[in-house]
Each structure stands twice: as C-alpha cells, then as structure tokens.
Structure 1
Amino acid sequence: MAARTVRLRVHYTSWDRPDGYSFSGHRGSDIPHTGSGWVRNVDIVHGPCPCPECSQSSAPSQDWFRLHVETACHVVFNTEEARATKVDFFYDDAKSRVEEKMQTIRAIKILLQDEKADTCTLVCATHSQLLGSELLQCLKETEKIKFFGPPTVWSLP
C-alpha cells in the first residue's frame, strides 16, 4: 500500500476555499501547503495526453496513463487548486529526490468532490511508461488485500 501513497504539494489557494478550511486565510495566494493521498485507479489511454507538457506541445504523446488520486477536500479544494498541485510518487524521505526514486506529475482537475465527507478525486495524466507501469504493478499487487471499514463514498465513472 505504501507505493500507492502520494505526497501532494499544492501551490495555490483558491478564492473559493470555504471559511474554516485549512489555508482559507490565504485565499488567492501561492503559499504552498502539503497533504497526502493514494492512487485509486490507473487506466491506459490512447489519444492526446492532457498533461501540462503535452498540452504545450505540437506533438503530444498519444499513449498515456490516467490516474485517479484520492485525497481530502481540505488538501485540494477545487480544479483551480488541482492545476497548481504537484503529485509526488515514491517519496519516502528527503533522499528520495536525490536518489531519483521520486517521480512528480501535475494534477489536471477534480473529478469528484464531497465537501461533507471531506474527500475528492484528482485526475492526473502521465505519458511516462515507467511511472504508469510501476503504478499498474502496485495496483495489481494490492488488489488481493481486503479492506475493512466504511464503504467508499462514491464509485468512479
């Protein structure tokens, strides 16, 4: 399960962030805050990759991975904040970056949000075959683990 855990670095606080939420006093600022999440799903997609790098390219990658990352609304409130969020995979400690284990991509948007339950699903995209393959393998290995607790708040479309 640890391999499915991500660190989120949010570099913008939306003007729409509700009163009482963490960082609501910093609306409109680029003061970073961090949180965590976990990879729920990875899909292989054929068609133009919507990652920020490919969006700026005249020849975007045509094979990419769509990732769904679960986190809390108080970490990433809306799509505006999602677009300013860096998602770090395989971050164990400060050495992870130096040892080049950590991989980072940007979130694209919020797919689902439930403020009352304080949960949201981020959509991320990567055309990194290495990252996509590693995450698919992690999901395959953890499929057999049984989770006990409350049912999920929603199911993905």
Structure 2
Amino acid sequence: MMDNFTPPGSPGEARKDHGAELTAAGVPPEMHEWLGEHGVGRLTLKMGIRFLEMGADRMVATMPVEGNEQVAGILHGGAHLVLAETLGSFAAGIHAGPGRHALGIEISATHHRGVASGTVTGTATALHLGRTLTTHEVVMTDDDGRRLSTARITNLLRDSGT
C-alpha cells in the first residue's frame, strides 16, 4: 500500500511553520495567515489533496486515486468523503470568518461510479451560508468529467473557544 505523505516527527509533535505545507497543498498566499497556525491537516496531506480554488461559495480541489484505493482497486468510498468534508469544512471556515470556526455535523454521499486511476476533482458549491449553519454540495468527477459521487455536508459555525 502506498502512503502519499508521511509527516516528520512523532504523531503528537507540534508543527509550527506550515508555509511549505500550505504552498504544497495549493493554498493561495492570501489564505496563509488564516491557515498558518494549523496548516491544512495531516489527513489532507496524506490523501494528496491539492486546492485549486478557495472560497465560501465555491471550493475546488484534486486528489489522486493512487494510494487512496480500496482492496478492489478503486477509489475508496471513504476517500470521497474525506475530499468532500475537507472542501465543505474549509469553505464553511472561510464563511465563518475570523474568530469563528466550522464544525461538521452531518455528511452523506451517493456513489455513482468507481474510478481506478487518475485524479478526482471535488467541487463544493454552497447551498446555504447562514450565521450558524452552512451546507455545501460536493461533486466528485474523474479526469473525463464524469460524476463519481455527490456529497452533502452541513457545518455548525461557532465562536472560537466554544
């Protein structure tokens, strides 16, 4: 089994400088201050997720199939959900703004077709951007633009520290 990323140091070791991590993940420089304290997260890096667009209304990222397959050789269904939750939660966090954060409270997905190679693109589109809740639809497609899965994620927006 291939591992897309093995972080340095022990599992509990705090990492302080995330600039290289953010750049490698495709995060635009104007978003570095927002994510600088925490980075994009180890799972995002391990799955090979790379951001192409970042906004509350629309967020797009890619993820390789290789290294994220199930035993049958196709992209694992859980990998679809990791990509969907990453996109929906980051978009909700942007909408929440400074001093607030997003907490995923519901996610579901329908898998339409399998994919055994290439790159998956996830596109999150806001369905609702409220004061306390956000909901995004996330569509995953293959290299030919065919729909692989459709997910929906709802996030609760809270003030930081609560």
Q: TM-score, normalised by structure 2?
A: 0.29
Select the structure with the greater relative contact order (CA < 8 A; seq sep ≥ 6): 1
Q: TM-score, normalised by structure 1?
A: 0.30
